[in-house]
């Protein structure tokens, strides 16, 4: 019993010894694990066509997240990591207004599309569009708040917020798939459950950040002067325009084939493709943890050590991350078909999945 107690104690204390990097990995492991389970549950619980429709809607949500990360979240990570006090509050306020506007515009577009679909008697797709409209603002708000935790170097706070948000998302999908309370298993209800969880997660994040944000925005020049607000936007845009371009190209390169598949062969074929590629997303915790943690860390290294120090840090980090990525990719490529059978059983047939999954795993690294 003593050895077991010591082992458990060491496991619980390990994140404290290794700092925020460990919490960032634990956080992203939980987020990616929940996202993975959600896709597997829906692949098993929906028809293949309905699953494909849900995945198309989720792809649009991820597009909004990608644009938000490039235009708002990553600039906040990089610029905010070098600021404290009022300067941090100014940046957070301006980017917060911009992210709310981005979410609002996206929600308005989704609502208009839903109205047009409803007028054309496409009631199922209209319901999905309206669910998207209700989901987009809380979805983007929660994502922005979790990035504020990372900018402050508080990966533990981000992990706590994500446990609440993504834990509720998983609970909501379980309710939808199992028809609890008479709720039907439809793509629209699945999207709505994600939105409700994001809304609760955003409220929880605001509560956790209340001490940081309380009083910080009361007397900012950006609240009184359009010129000051515009100046802060311009400073952020000088960085974010390159990130938006890079992320847009990356997203298009990773998603264009899916859009073509859905347009030419229909949602069912797209659902089959996403079910196969979902196995590759076992690599997602490593990749997303790096994307969440490393930008603000790199900004601090640059501020403390200059360009030469940043270049050395970059080389060391690339080497340390490259080896585990490569090993994991090889393992997934080798075990592609057995993994697919474990996840989906006979619900989703994936013939010759090893080639698609193997190439995807190698390309993902």
Closest-CA residue to 135 (of 60, 40, 186): 60
- Say what the pLDDT of residue 176 is: 93
Answer yes or no: is pLDDT of 89 > 80. yes
Which residue do the tokens 């939808």 mark? 176
Looking at residues 58-65, what average pLDDT do you find? 86
Q: What is the mean pLDDT of the chain?
A: 79
Kindly indicate the confidence band of residue 52, based on its pLDDT and cuts at 50, 70 and 90.
confident
Handedness of CA 36, 101, 207, 214 (dihedral sign): positive
Residue 347 DSSP class: S
Question: Could you tell me how far CA 312 lies from the centroid of its own chain?
Answer: 29
For 130, the 3-state DSSP assignment is: helix
- Separation of alpha carbons 210 and 16, rounded Å: 24
* Residues contacting residue 148 through CB under 8 Å, at least 6 positions apart: 76, 80, 92, 205, 209, 212
- Separation of alpha carbons 183 and 172, rounded Å: 10
- Say what the pLDDT of residue 4 is: 38
Higher pLDDT, 237 or 319: 237
Angle of CA points 193, 196, 201, to nearest 5°: 125
- Separation of alpha carbons 278 and 275, rounded Å: 5
Closest-CA residue to 124 (of 48, 187, 173, 191): 187
Q: Residue 14, Cβ neighbours under 10 Å: how many?
A: 11
Which residue do the tokens 């970059």 mark? 314
Q: Which two tokens stand for residue 286?
A: 């490593």
Answer yes or no: is pLDDT of 10 > 50. no
Reported as a single tens digit per residue, the pLDDT across 180-206 is 888 899 999 999 999 999 999 999 998
Question: Could you tell me how far CA 96 lies from the centroid of its own chain?
Answer: 17
- Say what the pLDDT of residue 166 is: 94
* Residues contacting residue 156 through CB under 8 Å, at least 6 positions apart: 15, 20, 23
Q: Which two tokens stand for residue 212?
A: 């940081």
Query: Cβ distance 176 to 190 under 8 Å?
Result: yes
For 168, the 3-state DSSP assignment is: helix
Query: Cβ distance 294 to 317 under 8 Å?
Result: yes
- Say what the pLDDT of residue 135 is: 94
Answer yes or no: is pLDDT of 136 > 60. yes
- Say what the pLDDT of residue 352 is: 56
Answer yes or no: is pLDDT of 174 > 50. yes
Answer yes or no: is pLDDT of 16 > 50. no
- DSSP secondary structure string, 214-238? TTTTTT-HHHH-HHHHHHHHHHHHH
- Angle between helix 336-344 and helix 284-334 axes, rounded to 10 deg: 110
- Say what the pLDDT of residue 203 is: 93
Query: Cβ distance 89 to 81 under 8 Å?
Result: no
Q: Residue 251, Cβ neighbours under 10 Å: how many?
A: 17
Q: pTM score, two decimals?
A: 0.73
Closest-CA residue to 195 (of 125, 105, 132): 132
Kindly indicate the confidence band of residue 129, based on its pLDDT and cuts at 50, 70 and 90.
very high
Burial category of 63 from C-beta neighbours within 10 Å (exposed 0-12, middle 13-18, buried 19 and up): middle
Query: Cβ distance 138 to 157 under 8 Å?
Result: no
pLDDT over 90 for what percent of the chain?
A: 19
Reported as a single tens digit per residue, the pLDDT across 229-263 is 888 888 888 888 888 887 787 777 667 777 777 77
């Amino acid at each position: 019993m003593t050895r077991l107690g010591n082992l458990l104690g060491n496991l619980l204390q390990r994140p404290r010894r290794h700092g925020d990097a460990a919490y960032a990995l634990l956080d992203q492991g939980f987020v990616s694990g929940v996202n993975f389970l959600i896709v597997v549950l829906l692949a098993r619980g929906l028809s293949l066509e309905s699953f494909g429709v849900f995945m198309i809607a989720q792809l649009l949500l991820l597009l909004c997240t990608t644009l938000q990360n490039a235009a708002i979240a990553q600039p906040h990570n990089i610029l905010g990591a070098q600021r404290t006090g009022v300067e941090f509050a100014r940046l957070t306020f301006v980017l917060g207004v911009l992210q709310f506007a981005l979410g609002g515009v996206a929600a308005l577009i989704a609502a208009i599309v839903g109205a047009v679909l409803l007028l054309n008697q496409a009631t199922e797709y209209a319901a999905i569009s309206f669910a998207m409209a209700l989901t987009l603002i809380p979805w983007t708000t929660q994502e922005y708040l979790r990035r504020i935790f990372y900018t402050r170097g508080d990966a533990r706070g981000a992990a706590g917020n994500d446990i609440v948000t993504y834990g509720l998302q998983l609970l909501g999908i379980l309710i939808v798939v199992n028809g609890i309370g008479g709720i039907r298993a439809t793509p629209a209800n699945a999207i709505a459950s994600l939105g409700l969880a994001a809304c609760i997660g955003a409220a929880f994040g605001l509560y956790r950040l209340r001490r940081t944000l309380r009083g910080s925005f009361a007397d900012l020049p950006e609240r009184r002067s359009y010129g000051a607000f515009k100046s802060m936007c311009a400073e952020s845009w000088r960085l974010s325009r390159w990130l938006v371009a890079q992320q847009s190209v990356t997203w298009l390169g990773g998603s264009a084939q899916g859009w073509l598949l859905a347009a030419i062969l229909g949602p069912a074929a797209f659902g089959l493709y996403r079910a196969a590629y979902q196995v590759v997303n076992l690599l997602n915790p490593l990749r997303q943890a790096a994307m969440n943690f490393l930008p603000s860390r790199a900004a601090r290294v640059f501020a403390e050590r200059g360009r030469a120090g940043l270049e050395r840090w970059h080389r060391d980090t690339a080497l340390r991350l490259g080896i585990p990525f490569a090993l994991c990719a090889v393992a997934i490529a080798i075990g592609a078909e057995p993994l697919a059978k474990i996840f989906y059983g006979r619900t989703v047939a994936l013939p010759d999945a090893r080639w698609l999954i193997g190439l995807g795993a190698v390309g993902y690294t």
